[in-house]
């Protein structure tokens, strides 16, 4: 499969066409951003870690009945994926109060939710990815009612699968972001699942093992990413 023109470059990834119109190649970068791009930096080796972890998680989810865009891992930094049209939504699933949720609701960070909280954001960098609800989504035609319900069902199922997967590796899945797209009319999981898109804490100490170490200048960022990959590969 030949890699052709780049069609998209985001904060963490590049997407390339191939000689098959239904397949793309995604390349993972070491670039790091936070606060809607206001903070920028580099996390050495992040692209390799996120590529390997995302491939592993996509395979896990596929085996549990969640359709994804993943086809195959090509090398340390690249994977082959199905060509998807991304729905302009970010889905956030929260199990523990942290980050913006703790601030918005005045809840102590680390407070366990009595049940998972599912939030939608409008995927638009110029607007700062504002939080929206299902009424907004339908009113401005971001997704259909059928797609919304399917995304909710998939997201909650992914949460149950990944909570179990991570806790078996002594990692607490605090919250995570998902993106979905359509391929041949089917809604499937896309983007990535990595320490960039998940809040992951050590289950014993609550040590942060994710991008919050970069956001909050906690240090040992590369070490935390490598620790996550090491634990999930055992």
Q: Whole-structure pTM over 0.75, yes or no?
A: yes
Q: Which structural domains are found in the chain, ordered by start?
A: 3-82 (3.30.200.20), 85-220 (3.30.470.20)
Q: How confident is the model at residue 6 (pLDDT cuts 50, 70, 90)?
A: very high
Q: How far from chain centre, in Å, is Cα 203? A: 20
Q: Is residue 120 packed enough to be buried (19+ CB in 10 Å), middle (13-18) or exposed (0-12)? A: buried
> How far is it, in rounded angstroms, from Cα 105 to Cα 5?
45
Contact 176, 53 (CB under 8 A): no
Give the pLDDT of residue 176.
98
pLDDT digits (tens, 9 = 90+) for 151-185: 999 999 999 999 999 999 999 999 999 999 999 99
Q: Which two tokens stand for residue 109?
A: 């960070």
Q: How confident is the model at residue 71 (pLDDT cuts 50, 70, 90)?
A: very high
Tell me how long the chain is.
234
Give the pLDDT of residue 1.
74
In terms of DSSP bridges, do strands 39-42 and 31-34 run parallel, antiparallel, or are they unpaired?
Answer: antiparallel
Helix (H) or strand (E) holding 145: helix 145-167
């Amino acid at each position: 499969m030949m890699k052709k023109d780049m069609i998209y470059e985001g904060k963490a990834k590049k997407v390339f066409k191939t000689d098959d119109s239904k397949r793309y190649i995604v390349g993972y970068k070491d670039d790091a951003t936070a606060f809607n791009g206001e903070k920028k930096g580099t996390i050495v080796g992040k692209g390799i870690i996120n590529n390997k972890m995302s491939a592993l998680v996509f395979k896990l989810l596929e085996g549990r009945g969640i359709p994804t865009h993943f086809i195959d891992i090509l090398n340390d930094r690249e994977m082959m994926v199905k060509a998807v049209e991304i729905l302009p939504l970010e889905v956030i699933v929260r199990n523990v109060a942290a980050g913006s949720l703790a601030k918005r609701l005045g809840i102590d960070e680390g407070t366990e939710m009595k049940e998972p909280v599912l939030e939608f954001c409008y995927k638009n960098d110029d607007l700062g990815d504002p939080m929206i609800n299902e009424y907004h989504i339908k009113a401005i035609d971001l997704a259909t009612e059928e797609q919304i319900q399917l995304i909710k069902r998939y997201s909650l199922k992914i949460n149950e699968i990944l909570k179990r997967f991570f806790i078996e590796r002594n990692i607490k899945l605090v919250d995570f972001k998902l993106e979905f797209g359509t391929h041949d009319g089917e809604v499937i999981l896309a983007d990535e699942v990595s320490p960039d898109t998940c809040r992951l804490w050590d289950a014993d100490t609550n040590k942060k093992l994710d991008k919050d170490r970069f956001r909050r200048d906690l240090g040992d960022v590369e070490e935390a990413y490598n620790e996550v990959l090491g634990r999930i590969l055992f």
